[in-house]
Structure 1
Amino acid sequence: MNKKRFHWLGLFLLVLVLGACGTGKSKTNTSESTQTPANLRDKPYREEQFLLGTYTRLSVYDEGKEAALAPAFARIKDLGDRITINEPGSEIDQINEKAGIEPVQVSPDIYSLVKTAKEYSVKSEGAFNLAIGAITQLWRIGFDDARKPNQAEIDQALTKIDYNKVQLDDEKQTVFLEEEGMIIDLGAIAKGYIADEVAKVLRQEGVTSGIVDLGGNILVIGHSYRGADQEWNIGIQDPNTARGTTIGTIQEADKTVVTSGIYERFLELDGQKYHHIFDTATGYPVENELASVSVVTDHSIDGDALTTMLFAKGLEEGIRFVEEQTPEGTDAIFITHEGQVYVTSGLQEEFKLDSESGYQMAK
């Protein structure tokens, strides 16, 4: 099917392993150049910091551009501190504290992010929901105090997640939650926004070849260090094994790949696992045939929101949505619990399944 060419404005994630980036874990491109261009390094300037609740890694391959790492990490920390709801004093925390009381004026960064999250909430009819916080903060999956709430608590929380009650004022740059107890949680889109902003910083600093890895949100800048005609190999995470194990690869340049799935954050109780992607109709984790969804797109903020949305929609509806309602250049990889791999039309020729992965391409 032909994709409609309209622009989408502006999930917790499975890590994607970068190939052709010097990690030693990837498949190489069989058509790679044998000599690194003079302006690029075969061993990058690389730094890792624990930010956003995960290990963030930035790699820069341009010769003489090591100094670009400092402002890039400063941008991550600044945005993370203003977006989080797990530390008091953030801008999002201030919005939530004033729920049902008054609008809160926020910075342009935060207003833009909240506005995009609201737009995705509306267009997905709640499959992605920026007001999911009453549910996520109840379960607390991924934190030491995670628990399974009782049904009365869930029922009460479900009355506080109406994204239509998030009011935005473009002129005043304010955000207002109409009801007390409402909570904005941007965990399903924040890393995408931050990844895009970090890429902007690196490009402004003159970086033409690099990798932004925010604990699973992978964004590649330019082409591989091996040459202007060489794309990066990006590995797609196996949702049923440890981080770093891939089932196959795609090759991309100036793209971002984001994954949402069931394995990375979960609560295990009485032999049952409860993952972190919630069904906004039930208040419980989504139950369907999917183990993970990976989205390939131009902007990480879109990939982040889409992974959560597509996972919630399920296999058939998710594939149809990508094919019919996303911009040209957006594709997805769906992996089921049964080990079947489905890819949308733009990746039919590009995705290479590892023959030893144990997975099968769906027919």
Structure 2
Amino acid sequence: MKNLILAFCVSTFFSFGQQLHKKKASLLGSPFEITVVATDSINGEQFCNLAINEVKRIEHLISDWIPSSQISKVNQNAGVKAIAVDEEVFNLVERSIKVSQLTNGAFDISYASMDRIWKFDGSMKEMPTEIEIKKSVERVGYQKILLNPEEKTIFLKEKGMKLGLGGIGQGYIADQIKALLISKGCTSGIVNVSGDINTWGFQINGEPWTVAIVNPLNKEKVFATFPLIDSAVETSGSYEKYVTFNGKRYSHIIDPRSGYPASGIISVSVFAKQTEIADALATGVFVLGVDVGMNLINQINGIECIIIDDKGGVHYSKNIDLQSK
């Protein structure tokens, strides 16, 4: 789940023939917002419509909820045959597997194969058994996703396997919107795909786009702001969906390796040049935990992170540069 604890701050005045144009929509089953700097309202509307159409185009390629999508076709043929996909889809899956390798499987797009034995709607009265939990992840494993680079095919080795690109696809979409609008002459903007935020250029007043980091335990309190200059941020959180058994808090984000919910963290914000990698790593870090997750981030150039643990403690990666409030 992408929790929008990031609020972006936008100046709203006109200057030298430029103006801000905003558009909100419900896309991918989640909030979507685009803000662009344009010459006039017509120009701004054109940019925003291009962005919305790009979301829909990619959704119809990679959504596992749309039966006719290429990813759905791969899932429907799990254990049966390899499916040829567009190079765009193939490359995204290939990059997803690389993140799985980087995170030792804490991020895994085959997580969609898991049996949904955990319920976070208030209906769970007791934990699943160890046997149930172990069985729930039997078909999960990025190592079982077979790619053929020459034929651009994807094959899932076992029947019942299923890919879900929700943990990386929204970030990819944000990156693609940015690239598309820049190619069409949009010099500045900020796109928010359900919490996956990417920016380019500057606001009309020359200031960077800025996000506010909100404490999920007190959403009225902003404890830091962060300027985004041609860069991205993504936040994953569990502070709204979780269960508690024997005094331990279990998040709705499940470790695909073990079948157990991640614990110890309530929020992860990852900053990067691309939303795609921020998106995937936020999930991976959440599963890995504070110490292992932060150690991973500190080894990757150009990636920074803020973790809020379940005691309210705030942890920063070594090179992060926050503007404290």
What aligned pairs does 1:285-324 form with structure 2 within 5 A after superposition? Answer: 285-288=261-264, 290-324=265-299
Task: Verify: 1:237 aligned to 2:237, yes or no.
Answer: no
Q: Assess, with a 3 A threshold, how the Cα gap between structure 1 residues 149 and 345 changes in structure 2: closer, same or farther.
A: closer
Residue matched to 2:63: 84
Residues 51-74 of structure 1 show CA distances to partners (whole Å, capped at 9, x for unaligned) of: 011110111112133111112110
Q: For the residues of structure 1 that align with 2:173 and 2:89, how far apart are their CA atoms?
A: 11
Task: Verify: 1:219 aligned to 2:195, yes or no.
Answer: no
Other structure's SS at 1:80 match: helix
User: Which of residues 333, 337, 362 in structure 1 aligns to 2:306?
Assistant: 333
Residue matched to 1:5: none
User: Which of residues 100, 108, 128 in structure 1 aligns to 2:79?
Assistant: 100
Structure-2-length-normalised TM-score: 0.89
Other structure's SS at 2:165 match: coil
What aligned pairs does 1:29-40 form with structure 2 within 5 A after superposition? Answer: 37-40=15-18
* Runs of 4+ in structure 1 over 4 Å off: 139-150, 264-274
Q: Assess, with a 3 A threshold, how the Cα gap between structure 1 residues 199 and 240 changes in structure 2: closer, same or farther.
A: same
Q: Unaligned stretches of 5+ in structure 2?
A: none
Q: Is the 8 A contact 1:133 1:182 kept in 2?
A: yes
Residues 120-178 of structure 1 show CA distances to partners (whole Å, capped at 9, x for unaligned) of: 1122110111111122x625868999998844443223110111010001111110000
Q: Assess, with a 3 A threshold, how the Cα gap between structure 1 residues 145 and 171 changes in structure 2: closer, same or farther.
A: farther
Q: Which amino acid aligns with 2:150?
A: E
Residue matched to 2:317: 344
Q: Assess, with a 3 A threshold, how the Cα gap between structure 1 residues 189 and 46 changes in structure 2: closer, same or farther.
A: same
Give 1:311 deviation, angstroms: 1.3
Residue matched to 1:19: 9
CA RMSD of aligned residues (A): 2.7
Q: Is the 8 A contact 1:295 1:332 kept in 2?
A: yes
Other structure's SS at 1:131 match: helix
Give 1:21 deviation, angstroms: 4.3
Q: Which amino acid aligns with 1:176?
A: F
Q: For the residues of structure 2 that align with 1:121 and 1:336, how far apart are their CA atoms?
A: 23
Task: Verify: 1:167 aligned to 2:132, yes or no.
Answer: no
Q: For the residues of structure 2 that align with 1:146 and 1:175, how far apart are their CA atoms?
A: 36
Task: Verify: 1:155 aligned to 2:155, yes or no.
Answer: no
Q: Unaligned stretches of 5+ in structure 1?
A: 1-10, 23-34, 355-363
Aligned residues: 321
Q: Which amino acid aligns with 2:216?
A: P
Q: For the residues of structure 2 that align with 1:80 and 1:142, how far apart are their CA atoms?
A: 26
Q: Assess, with a 3 A threshold, how the Cα gap between structure 1 residues 15 and 74 changes in structure 2: closer, same or farther.
A: farther
Q: For the residues of structure 1 that align with 2:125 and 2:162, how far apart are their CA atoms?
A: 18
Higher relative CO (Cα under 8 Å, sequence separation at least 6) belongs to 1
Residue matched to 2:24: 48
Q: For the residues of structure 1 that align with 2:67 and 2:196, how far apart are their CA atoms?
A: 25
Q: Which amino acid aligns with 1:333?
A: I
Q: Assess, with a 3 A threshold, how the Cα gap between structure 1 residues 21 and 91 changes in structure 2: closer, same or farther.
A: farther
Q: For the residues of structure 2 that align with 1:335 and 1:281, how far apart are their CA atoms?
A: 23
Q: Which amino acid aligns with 1:344?
A: S
Residue matched to 1:199: 178
Task: Verify: 1:177 aligned to 2:159, yes or no.
Answer: no
Residue matched to 1:284: 260
Q: Assess, with a 3 A threshold, how the Cα gap between structure 1 residues 145 and 88 changes in structure 2: closer, same or farther.
A: farther
